[in-house]
Structure 1
Amino acid sequence: MLTDIQPGQDAPVTQGGFAVEVRGLTRRFGANTVLENLHLSIQPGEFVALLGRSGSGKSTLLRTLAGLDEAPAGVLSVPKARAVVFQEPRLLPWKRVWENVTLGLRMPDARRLAEDALGEVGLKHRLQAWPLTLSGGEAQRAALARALVRAPELLLLDEPFAALDALTRLKMQSLVGALWTAHQPAVLLVTHDVDEALILADRVLVLEHGRIALDIPVDLPRPRRHSTLGFSELRTQLLEALGVKEG
């Protein structure tokens, strides 16, 4: 049973044992229906990737789960402890890296927590750096540390690697996989990259016309590569669901 919530209010963890439970979510912007009667459940510790064509409502769903957009009453439950990493690092240039990591935290040991989180993402040596001196990959690592320091039960990733070069993107995928293994939050990754979804996720969803059109488990051994048995077949299935047919 879902808990009734009011727009903008944090919801408690679902009563059914899910980290996330959504039923009948509809989001409209004027005459445009972006999400229509959407249903979604995510288990605690499950890594879910969400694919969809541009404008399919992926970021709208993520922002609703994050509490950044209002949700109609009585349609979703999410953990109170959640964090978001966006495509842009969104670091404040007038605050040092560790201060960006601890933004909003009211704890006496906030700096130590920042040091620990930055150490996990390989940025402890940049603790006192200014954000404008960071590379793109380093800035996104700092954004991950900012999410990590909040010990989220739900980590929401909105195309966090889209602006990175190919090599840095591969390194960041590996880092996110390692952090998920170590901390085991539920994860929802919004991405346009089918390969990225298959490398990282336990389950891949395809969003189309405001609903989940495809929901497939990725039961492949980790670490995964393109040569992993079954990878190519799942890739083809997802591409076809997205309207792409390989020659």
Structure 2
Amino acid sequence: MIGGKSLQQNLLPRCLDIAIEEDISFREGLPLDYLHYMGLAHSDVENPKRDEFIKKITSLMTTMIQNYSPVDAACDQMGKQVIIDSLPPVLTDVEKSCSIHGHGEKWDDVRKCVKGNMEVEPDTMVKLIRKGCLRLVREDDSVCIYHNLENARVYHGREPQFIEISPELAPAVEFLLHSYPEYVSVDSLPSPSVDENVEIASVLYDKGLLITGEPLESVHVDDSDDDDNCVTNDDDNF
């Protein structure tokens, strides 16, 4: 029950805050004479006022739990802590070859260019690299994706790693979570537009959270360039 205890400790203070904010009953003052019949010295004394006071408190507590409990939000905070505490996943060679972990942009000192530039396209097939490697959490007016891909091997050796996204892109992340372990095309994500689908997929891919159905091909500026898969730094041309 340690987990259940922690969940309730997280849930109840927020539950009370919401109830006080939204329901005037939780902001009413206490009876002026309540100390005359409440407390240890009065616990064995029969008193209609005492009975009414306890009934009112019980009713408020029931209303608070039934109507103002942000259970999902509390569970997300628990899940966020699990992500913060966990180690990054161990990836297979195949997973590395189909993700940023086996590719990524690198500067070539010899040819003076960027190698390994990858781009996600609308028809790219993708899935999360692990379902348990991220948690979607609403915090105030923003939505954050907490992940463990960049966690240190030393416990809490790094600050919590997260990506802040617009609320409009959150359904795309939810879709990937619910689709796992199946691959889905980027253009099938439920964002407002294809461009936004590519945007969120690219952000997740660049952070190492997505794996593609096949290794992505490197892109380069000029197909006629002798240095294949190499993006030249324009500053070197002057």
TM class by shorter-chain length?
under 0.3
Higher percent of residues as helix: 2
TM-score normalized by structure 2?
0.27
